[in-house]
Amino acid sequence: MSENRGQEGLIECVPNISEGRDQVKIDQIVAAATAVPGVRCLDVDPGSDTHRTVITLVGAPDPIAEAAFRLVQKASELIDMSQHHGAHARHGATDVCPFIPVSGVTMEDCIEVARAVGKRIGEELEIPVYMYDRAALTEDRSSLADVRRGEYEALPEKMTDPEWKPDFGPAEFKPGPGVVTVGAREFLIAYNVNLNTRDKPKADDLAMEIREKGRAVRIEQKTPYYSSGKLLRYSDSEGQWPSNLTGEIFDSRNALDQHLKENGTSLADEVAFFGQDPEKLDGEMVMKRGTFEHCRAVGWVIPEYGRAQISINLTDFNVTNMHHVVDACRDLAESRGLVITGSELVGVVPYRAIHESGQHYLRSQGSSGGVPMKDIIATAVQSLGLSDITPFDTDASVLGMPTTRGELTGMEIHEFTDEVSRDSPAPGGGSIAALAGALGAALGSMVANLTYGKRKYRKRQPEMEELAIHAQKLKDDLLRAVDEDTAAFEEVIQAMRLPQGSPDQEEVRLKAIEAGYRHATEVPMNTARLCLEVLQLAMEATRRGMPASITDAGTACWMARAGVESALYNVRVNLGELQDSEWKSALIEETATISAQADQFLRESRDQVDKIL
């Protein structure tokens, strides 16, 4: 994991503790985790019958790792597993502790965090630790059910078995805390699809079609509902070996197996998937897989909603996302005379998942995906029908959603302009340079989207959409740079205010000033690079965008060029305060290169504008 990744990105951690009845203990355990700066608690869900509480935390990698450790530590102090009894399977005070990527991190990052936390728990708290799921150190420990088999009561014997030596910590039975199972997994999206019926069997019929584990194969349906058909069973004595793929009946086991192999599977694979004994298939139902992998689904009725729902858990949205299942449910419902009225998100959803759904529906309707982020999310909310039951709150329900709203960019235009005009050095030229570039990117995206929407330029749609998407990203990056530039200058001011009454203090102050100026140079340097990208895109818009928008594309070029030069002014003025001559020389060379490229791009774009005008 990269050094800066420790403070960037967002990871969800969902510890399950074996305490669901004593609220005081639960609060103390949660407080231990949330005392870590940068960690938020999204939900605390205690269950009295299960004697278990599910806690949902989010934070950057380093803080969330610290929070998880402190939670495990506090739980081990407050929970005595020798006195624990509940309806849920369990084998430790902190029974499971999975880490889940939300945004700006990969699964590999979460695996690294999980293993580091597991190792620390084992070494510092001396509690046995098993790693599971994607963080498992051995394949036979990837399944939580396998690792937890026998539960807490099996631990005294388990700890003496060499095959179950813990991955971290001592191989000895700890009566109080038991063991901790730490892992990494994909984000689980709890998602319900709403039907215009109160009939649970109708919802079940759709659920069994889409869920991964599927259903029993039936033929000769009497109604549009699959469940109205006749069950198919294997019969060795009658020579009936039905295919779970087509319903076709073969006269021997070998013939069926050959048919399945021709379709990329085998009888052994299929029966193993459904937990059937290949040697005892006579009389067993023929089972078929459902439409979607990583999808669990069941039908139920919610009286307060006055309707049935398909309750869905999507265990890997990278494979099966919300739009996949809701679109399939709409098709299935229509064939049965039902209507999908909308859907409901339970809890939260990663930004990347809902963004992907929004892009899917924009593509489906033939619209450009190069639009503002909030428009993409709004498209997903409308298309999925997420406000069917209650209004969808994007801010509360979408995790890891990027924002461009800062102290300055959150102001109205007249307020921001007034702020710039006051007698304070910040916001200054660096922030204005970033804003100029952002406006240029916005204009470039506008030209691309206008061109995309004209039938005359249909063949240019792929390149115009690509241009618009790139421009939107640059726009957002530059908007964030408006506040970043002012914040970087504030670091310099704060460093200058440090005490300098002794040689040691003076040394600390000078190092802080050097670091501050370095950062205050890096920010506008990055702004200049981004503005150069905007200028290049805007130049392309003058060439490939529709002629009616040539003045908009030309204006985008000038705004970007202004952003480049203004940002470079800020780089140059700060370089004079720095001592690192090698680093300064490299930046001076780069500023000259960027300025020359910007002049060339602007010259070419002006020629194109003059040609059309």
Mean pLDDT lowest for which of 2-11, 139-148, 546-555?
2-11
pLDDT at 99: 97
Task: Look at residue 258 and tell me whether its pLDDT is greater than 60.
Answer: yes
Fold classification of 413-612 (topology level): Four Helix Bundle (Hemerythrin (Met), subunit A) (1.20.120)
Q: Are 177 and 76 in contact (CB under 8 A)?
A: yes
Q: Quote the longest CA-to-CA distance of the chain.
A: 99
Between the CA of residue 572 and those of 193, 355, 587, 588, 589, what are the distances in Å?
Answer: 57, 39, 9, 8, 11
- Residues 16-72 have pLDDT tens digits of 999 999 999 999 999 999 999 999 999 999 989 989 999 999 999 999 999 999 999
User: In the predicted model, what is the mean pLDDT of residues 196-205?
Assistant: 95
Overall fold of domain 295-399: Alpha-Beta Plaits (3.30.70)
Burial tier of 593 (Cβ tally within 10 Å: 0-12, 13-18, 19+): exposed
* Average confidence (pLDDT) over 402-419: 95
What lies within 8 Å, CB to CB, of 140 at 6+ separation is 146
CATH topology for the 4-184 domain: Formiminotransferase-cyclodeaminase; Chain B, domain 1 (3.30.990)
Q: What is the mean pLDDT of residues 141-146?
A: 91
- Read off the pLDDT of residues 543-591 as tens digits, 9 standing for 90 and up: 999 999 999 999 999 999 999 999 999 999 988 888 888 888 999 999 9
Residue 3 pLDDT grade (very low, low, confident, very high; cuts 50, 70, 90): very low
> What is the band of 93 on the pLDDT scale with cuts at 50, 70, 90?
very high
Model confidence pLDDT, tens digit, residues 446-461:
999 999 999 999 999 9
Per-residue pLDDT tens digits for 352-369: 999 999 999 999 999 999
The catalytic site residues sit at 88, 485
Q: What is the mean pLDDT of the chain?
A: 94
Report the C-alpha gap between 171 and 193 in whole angstroms: 46
Q: Which residues contact 204 (CB under 8 A, 6 or more apart)?
A: 227, 298, 299
Note the pLDDT tens digit of each residue in 76-85.
999 999 999 9
pLDDT tens track for 280-292: 999 999 999 999 9
For residue 48, what are the contacts with CB-CB under 8 A and spacing of at least 6?
20, 21
- Give the pLDDT of residue 204: 95
| Beta carbons of 18 and 89 less than 8 angstroms apart | no
Q: Tell me, what's the pLDDT at 7?
A: 55
- Sequence spans of domains, the chain: 4-184, 215-288, 295-399, 413-612
Query: What's the rounded mean pLDDT across residues 181-199?
Result: 95
Please check the confidence at residue 12 and state whether its pLDDT lies above 80.
yes
CA distances 106 to 43, 100, 102, 612, Å, are 23, 9, 8, 47
The pLDDT of 197-208, averaged and rounded, is 95
Q: Which residues contact 360 (CB under 8 A, 6 or more apart)?
A: 321, 323
Burial profile 543-563: b = 16 or more Cβ within 10 angstroms, e = fewer: ebbbeebbebbbbbbbbbbbb
Give me the percent of the chain exceeding a pLDDT of 90: 88
pTM of the model: 0.87
Count of alpha carbons within 13 angstroms of residue 354, beta-carbon side: 35
